[in-house]
Structure 1
Amino acid sequence: MKQTADTAQERNALMEKIQMVDFALVELTLYLDTHPQDSQAIQQFNQLAMESRDLKGAYEKRFGPLRQFGGSFSGYPWNWDNAPWPWQL
């Protein structure tokens, strides 16, 4: 996929959202490890997990695979060689 400035900006903005949500999920996981009865935190975790799933799905639909080892499907032809890689953003 050839990137325009607008496409790169959209890609970076979506990746930043994914990173923010996933960071919150990591923090909530750590919190819930020590507070497993906090139903409000569990509800927030589940909402963020769905948001993360949806954001990653939107990213992959628009920009290609994001997760390796079976977490993402490849288009045809094999599109794991399309740059930039998610961790390069």
Structure 2
Amino acid sequence: MDREQVCSLREIMEVDFVVLETALYLNTHPTDERALRLHNTYSQKLKELESIYQAKYGPLTNHEMSQCPWAYINEPWPWEFDFSLC
């Protein structure tokens, strides 16, 4: 796994964290327009980052389409990445 791939994955994980946390916040504050804008902005960014990553490196989850042979885990597991490269 090269530096660019590790850094891309790290960015996806960071943005995914924001999306999850804003969704949890919005569950209890559904009329907070600022939080909703933030959530929607990061949700869109996450889709874009995932699309770019998957086009270049393959699927991020096992419910994506895969070519033969099965390609979900051809790289180290997420906890095996060296994020100090970023």
Q: TM-score, normalised by structure 1?
A: 0.78
Letter of the 1:80 counterpart: Y
Count, aligned residues: 81
- CA RMSD between the two structures: 1.6
Q: Which has the higher contact order (CA 8 A, sep 6+)?
A: 2
**SS class of match (1:75):** coil
> Which residue matches 1:14?
8
CA displacement at 1:27 relative to structure 2 = 1.3
The 2-side partners of 1:33 and 1:81 are apart by 33
- Unmatched 5+ stretches in structure 1: none
Structure 2: stretches of 5+ with no match in the other structure: 82-86
Shift of 1:81: 4.1
Q: 1:58 to 1:9 in 2, by over 3 A?
A: same
Q: Tell me, in whole angstroms, the C-alpha distance in 1 between the residues paired with 2:72 and 2:36.
A: 34
> For 1:1-89, what aligned pairs fall within 5 Å after superposition?
3=1, 8-68=2-62, 70=63, 72-86=64-78, 88-89=80-81
TM-score by length of 2: 0.80
Amino acid at match of 1:78: W
> What is the percentage of aligned positions where both structures have the same residue?
35
The answer on whether the counterparts of 2:61 and 2:72 sit within 8 Å (CA) in structure 1 is no
- The Cα shift of 1:76 comes to 4.2
